Amino acid sequence: MKDINIDFNDLDINNIGAWPTPLKAIVIVIICAATLAAGYFLDIKKQQTTLQRAERQELTLKQDFETKQAKAVNLEAYRQQMKEMEESFGAMLRQLPSKTEVEHLLVDISQTGLASGIEFKLFKPEKEVFTEFYAELPIKIRMTGTYHQFGSFVSGVAALPRIVTLHDIVISGGKKEGEALTMDLTAKTYRYLDDDELSQQRQKEKKKRKGRR
């Protein structure tokens, strides 16, 4: 085997073509190896990035699947809850009188007071207050009687088939001994809105929302 003697001081970097053939072969091999290595590592890095993105997407899809699966498993329970809520809401709605029934309810409240033995000094329905789907009718009431009679009146109102709530109750004693007590309060009853009133309320709500913008 012939020895190869190369004087690196005589090599011109700008004229690689004049280098000895063995040295040129070595340089070519090194360049090819470096190119392949660079391509390999760049491709690996790209694949790692793609893999990480796929893993994140897989995690997201897995969580989404688990959420939907949980909903699907509990779907029947949700339907049952919705049915119960609708029935409960319907029962509450039936306790609200219609516009034509309010007068009868006022009579019921008045008769409950008379049956309790109290004496009305004031029984004044106020202006209705409208909400989203029902109207609230406050009634200013002043009555005289005993604690027992007041308690009987409150119990009688609570037993009415319609919803009536009592607010701002104030009881004051008579100025003289044996004089009757006076109770001031606001009774509130409620009624559901008919279709025309509901439409009007929705229009008002839309105007309010536009006004806030």
- pLDDT number for residue 1: 44
Regarding pTM above 0.75, the answer is no
CB atoms within 10 A of CB 143: 21
Contact 120, 159 (CB under 8 A): no
Q: Report residue 11 CA to chain centroid gap.
A: 80
- pLDDT number for residue 104: 86
Alpha-carbon gap, residue 6 to 67, rounded angstroms: 72
Residue type, 42: L
- pLDDT number for residue 103: 84
| pLDDT tens, N- to C-terminus, the chain (213 residues) | 445 555 555 555 555 555 566 666 666 667 766 666 666 666 666 777 777 777 788 788 888 877 877 777 777 777 777 777 766 655 666 566 667 677 888 899 999 999 999 999 999 999 988 877 788 899 999 999 998 999 999 999 999 888 889 999 999 886 666 678 999 999 998 887 777 777 777 777 777 777 666
Structural tokens at position 155: 């119990």
